[in-house]
Structure 1
Amino acid sequence: MRTVMHCTAGSASAQRRALANAANLLADETLDLEALAVVFNGDGVHAARADAPVADEVRGLLARGPEEDAAPDAPLIEVCACSNSLASRGVDPDELVHDVRVVSSGMGELSRRQADGYGYIRVP
């Protein structure tokens, strides 16, 4: 199973809830989750900033992926930020948490993921 979560929330409390939902999904042992992508666009891109109030939660989510995890069946975890949203909000991609991937557009990334069989969840 592959899931893409979509967050446009600008408030830290809503972003924190979105990231907690992602963590809860990863912790659900009844699922055979092979990949999880979290796509931030709109005001949600501020969550991906290295100085964001939720930056530690973003780092923690990324650290649960197979590169950091000894478990061979750990799901691929990606956090993506929309380049259009970054540009319109004056956020330089160099300001993002390490390993956050900048995508051409949030809507395009969501469309690609769904075409590739990812289930879509809007959070929070």
Structure 2
Amino acid sequence: MRTALHCSAGDVDDRRHALANAANLLGDDTVALDALVVVFNGDGVGAVRADSPVADDVRGLLARTPEETAAPDAPTVEVCACGNSLAGRDIPADELVYGVDVVSSGMGELTRRQADGYAYIRVP
């Protein structure tokens, strides 16, 4: 099973809630999760700035990859930021948490993921 979470929230508590949902999904042993992608767009892209109040939560998600956990059956975890949203807010890619992927558009990325069979969940 593969899941795409979508966050466009500007409020730090909403961003924290979205990242907690992602962590909870990864920790749920009743879900056979193969891959998780969290896509931030709109005001949500502020969450993935290296100086964001939730940057450590983002780093924590990115550290849960099979390579980092030494668990070969761990789901792959990706965090993506919308390039359009970053450009519209004058946020350069080098100010993001290391490991965050910049995609051309958040909506395009979510559309591609859904076409590839990812379940879509908007958080929070």
TM-score interval (norm. to shorter):
over 0.9
- RMSD over equivalenced CA pairs, Å: 0.4
Deviation of residue 80 (structure 1)? 0.1
Gaps of 5+ in 2: none
What one-letter code is carried by the residue in structure 2 that aligns with 1:37?
V
Partner of 1:26: 26
Three-state SS of the structure 2 residue aligned to 1:67 is helix
Calculate the TM-score normalised by the size of structure 2: 0.99
Query: C-alpha displacement at 1:66, in angstroms?
Result: 1.1
Shift of 1:67: 1.8
SS in 1 for 2:38: strand
Partner of 2:85: 85
Partner of 1:108: 108
Q: In structure 1, how many angstroms separate the alpha carbons of the residues matched to 2:38 and 2:122?
A: 10
Pairwise CA distance, 1:70: 1.1
CA distance in structure 1 between the aligned counterparts of 2:122 and 2:70, rounded to whole angstroms: 30
- Corresponding residue for 1:62? 62
The CA deviation string for residues 69-113 of structure 1, in whole angstroms up to 9 with x for no partner, is: 111101000000000000000100100000000001000000000
Which residue number in structure 2 is paired with residue 7 of structure 1? 7
| Count of paired positions | 124
User: What is the TM-score of this pair, normalised by structure 1?
Assistant: 0.99
How far apart are 1:18 and its partner, in Å? 0.1
Q: Secondary structure at the match of 1:68?
A: helix
Q: Name the structure 2 match of 1:16.
A: 16
What one-letter code is carried by the residue in structure 1 that aligns with 2:45? V
Any stretches of 5+ residues in structure 1 without a counterpart?
none
What SS does the aligned partner of 1:91 have? coil
Query: What CA distance in whole angstroms lies between the structure 2 residues aligned with 1:41 and 1:66?
Result: 26
CA deviations over 1:42-73 (Å, ceiling 9, x no partner):
00000000000000000000001112011110
Q: Percent identity?
A: 73
Paired residue type of 1:85? S
